[in-house]
Structure 1
Amino acid sequence: MSEQLPAEHTPEQNKEKKSGNLVAWLSMLLNLLLAAAIALVLYWVWPQWSGLQQRQQQLTEQQQLSQSAAQQQQQEFSQSLEQQLAGLKTELAETSALLQQQQMQLQALQQDQQKQLSSSTAWALWQSQQLVQLAGQKIWLEQDIPAALRVLVGAEEQLSQQQDPAFVPLRQAMLSDIQALQQLQLPPISSIQLDLAQLRQLVQNLPLRQSEPVLQQVADTASAQDWQGRFWQQWGTFWGSLVQVRPTAPEDLAVLSAEQQLSLRNTLTQQLLLAELAAVKYQNGPYQSALQQAMDSLQRYFRPADPQVQQSADRLAKLSTLNVMLPAPSRLQSSEVLKELKVTEKGL
């Protein structure tokens, strides 16, 4: 059996075979390069893409949380606003009810007042009562008789304009009170004040029994503050040291220092001032006691032969004869008549 030998390749066939192998190798090399490039791209790009995906997911979650929180806040705000509106509506309703109630009370009060004051008699009696009470305050609290007279005269004139026979007893009582007040003998308080003020000015110039030592100029110009301090010191011991005029004792003629002489003058001044204050308050007891002390001091420590001392003593004696007590009536007839009218009058 004969063996078949491979056919020999021609040069052209060999050339084609080599070019085919070269193409295959180049194709494989390109595939490898492409795979390597893809792997390299995936190696660098994949982490960044994954990070971007994670960031996007986080942003999405945050956005969702923010939206949820905003929705929750909006719901809470809406609920709070609804509650506030409900509270305001409730307060408005309560306020409206309270205003209506107050208006009703005001209307009822106005109706009551109109009923009470619809009668001119009731109004006139109420006004007269107020004026009589004011006159009583002027008499017993303020001790101002002229002012009380003016009030009663005005009240009687107003009643006379009503021309109501029911007011005749009240007008007669008012006229009786006015006449009683006009007949009162009021003490001359202004004249007493003037005399005592002049005597206080003369005290520093009255000569004392002692001729030595002479008062210094500093003592004559003592300040008002020191005088006031001495005044309140003497006030504390005034009421417990009331004395009567007595003959001059030997110790009264002792030589006094300048301070003692100044103290005696200030004491006499204070006693005169106390008498003036008591006269203004219509307190006859303190007034007489202060004058008695002033006359005793004048007799004991000042020179009796001096004309100014004699004149001062005469003026004090004249002032002591005056009674400064206010002769006020114990009651007003008008007040008693008003009480009777209030019982019978329905409108008051």
Structure 2
Amino acid sequence: MESAQTESEPVKSEVKSAVASSKGKAKAKTSIWIILSILLCFTVSCGIVATGYYFYNQQQSKEAEWHAQIASVEQKLQQQNSYTAQLKAENQSVNQKSQQLQQRVAELESNVSGLAKRSPKHWMAAEADYLVRMAGRKLWLENDPMTATELLKAADQQIASMQDPSLLQIRKAISRDLSKVKSINETDITGAVFAIDGVIEQLDSLPLNQFKPKVTVQPEDNVLSESIDDWKENINKTWQALIKDFIHIRKRQGDVQPLMSPKQRWYLQENIKNKLLQAQLALYRNDEVNFHHSIQLAHKWLSEYFDLQNETTKNALNELEQLKRLTLSHTQIRRFDSVPLLKQLVTYGHLSAVREPSL
């Protein structure tokens, strides 16, 4: 019995080892399949994730494109709305201009019809009104009372040629305007300008006020003596007579101021010319203050730096003295009395009851 048990123990151990090995192999096979299934599941899940990410990106890009297309469509709609508003505004402005043109055409038609009904006397009244207005321009803009007087006379003749007794008010007004214009003391602006031009032309030939010292010459006794004892003095006198025409020796006391350089002389002359030209400009502008100021400065510089003994300098200073006493005329007339009457005649073709202005 003991031998049988000893024989059966190795068999049991072998069976156990076989069973254990088969169990190990089965476990190994099951672990490999599990790993493969896990890998397969992981691969499938990665593919699903990648596919989802790809489709997600595609969806995002399509949404971005859709948003861009929507924004462009909205921008085009806004532009179209702005263009529509601009076209409406332009249409309104065109309509307004069309209405204005229609009103202007209507006014022109009425004016033309009114002009067609007028008599030739209206044209003569318009010409007289133009002459009076030209007289005002000559008087106030150009300070020319003489031409203004002639223009007023021509306007009076034009009204007189109409031979209408109802226009005596206009002739009286023109007569008052003529008397006012004739009362203006006219200044010879042209003569003053020419006098200034003469002084400017003489500036280059005017001598400067240079220093001229007085030389005292001692009287010399050049008569030769007949005495033989005076032979030395006779020789000296003969020698002095020989060199008299070749050498002059003069003695001068006191400080001598240096002469003006050519550059300084040129600057002086140009400054005087500039002041005289300013005086001419002031004459044309009827500016009496600046005219007298420029003439006084030119007179001062001429008297200080040029030779007062020279006749040309004296003549230039005399011209400037006369110009300093020149007074410019200033008109006090603000308007002509005949202007409103002529305007009424040209506009309505007749005169209404108008009160004459007090003198």
With normalisation by structure 1, the TM-score equals: 0.50
The alignment's TM-score, normalised by the length of structure 2, stands at 0.48
